Amino acid sequence: MAAFGLLIASGQLAVVAGLAGAVFVAVVALALLLVAGRGDPVAATREPDDPQAAGAPYARLANALPDPILVISGGAAEDLSTRRYLFANRAARELFRLDQETGLLVAAIRDPQVLEAVDEALFGGIAADCVYESPGVQPKTLRAHARPLETAPEGGRLALLAFRDETELRQVERTRADFLANASHELRTPLASLAGFIETLRGHARQDEGARDRFLAIMQAQTERMNRLIDDLMSLSRIELNEHVAPGDRVDLARAVMDAVDAAAPLARQRDVRLVPDLPQAGTASVVGDRDQLVQVAQNLIDNALKYSPDGGAVGIRVLVALTAVHAVAGERPAAARLSLLTPDRAEGLYAVLRVSDQGSGIARENLPRLSERFYRVEGQKSGERAGTGLGLAIVKHIANRHRGGLVVESAPGQGSTFTAYLPLAPENALRPVAKMS
């Protein structure tokens, strides 16, 4: 009750009433901070050495909030250098990687929509909202709320800038839209084939046993294709939905890869291709991850290698331990083109590396950038026994991204291809010496 009394006395309650949820809490906290600080909006947010100091509890409250919040001051409307953040809570400092307690707003946030919303709150006295996309390999979608605050005692204009994470909500919307668009496009061809064959079998081929057997075999293949497509689409949708949430289980990458090798062995024998695993001792390649997804990464890479390996060929499957990011992306084929399809935001520490190599026809340099796109298949590899859904590498990329790892391809026509997925080692493995590359 005392807190709301302060809000009413300071004229901030009208501002608070316009927001809800976590942003409501943020405004309450900052209004209290401003009232407690009186002459200095920053004073109430500092945590002095004296734990009994009046400002310390409010600073702890603001820093405990999960949503990023900043207090902005403004001088002349035409002078951008007068827009400064006077306070940023811990979540805001992490989001914008701020080292200073105060500083220029444009040095922290460069998004023109956010800056415009702040100006409307500072100089127009009106509330403004916009969408902010954080930069990086794993961007976040946040809703920015700019709200005017009471003029500071020295006459300066003040505004509150609060952010609310809407990444998961936007991801759900995007995934649903992509699923409908892609599924309708990819399912149209096999459904049209099935409809044509059914019409033929009901018509002049009704009594033709040879044609009936041939058409039924094609219909079965088309049905299996649709099943694979739906399975891959559902898998990709689930992965994308949780892509921004890092996994937390400890997984032995070597064992996960060995499970994928065992599962692929019957198909390899059927295609007369040898699988040649080169795995480290169990327990030495522990990563923090989702075991089922890591098995899926290995399965997709091995399956791709099997598809494009010639009869009598071999697929090399290696797991390397404790490589730096530079060593992880280093090539093994001197004359091949190499491209990073995914690079982690912070390529620090040591990694466990999975490399899958084939002896197939290889991929031209100009096709490498599009390999991880949904439904993309290199021209000449879209039909026949090698036909796939075109989602395998997209799934691998999104899983690697969720695990804060990377993905690299190197290939050259006539020399085969090598795909490398690298994932951060679990903490206790990070102190091991860098493994030698052979």
List the domain boundaries for the chain: 2-165, 168-245, 246-438
Name the β-bridge partners of 128. 146
- Tracing tokens 């091995």 back to the chain, one arrives at 302
Whole-number pLDDT of residue 118: 94
**61-83 as b/e, with b when 16 or more CB fall inside 10 Å?**
bbbebebbbbbbbbeeeeeeebb
CATH of domain 246-438: 3.30.565.10
Whole-number pLDDT of residue 57: 59
Whole-number pLDDT of residue 384: 43
Domain 2-165 is of which CATH architecture?
A: 2-Layer Sandwich (3.30)
10-residue averages of pLDDT along the chain (438 residues): 37 42 49 46 47 53 88 85 89 89 88 93 92 79 91 78 88 72 72 82 79 84 82 80 84 94 91 92 87 93 91 92 88 82 84 92 86 73 54 90 92 90 79 41
Whole-number pLDDT of residue 101: 75
Establish how many alpha carbons lie within 13 A of residue 275's alpha carbon, considering only the half-sphere containing its beta carbon.
27
Domain 168-245 is of which CATH architecture?
A: Orthogonal Bundle (1.10)
Please give the angle made by the CA atoms of 167, 172 and 176, to the nearest 5 degrees. 145
Whole-number pLDDT of residue 39: 43
For 236-248, give the secondary structure using H, E and C.
HHHHHHCCCCCCC
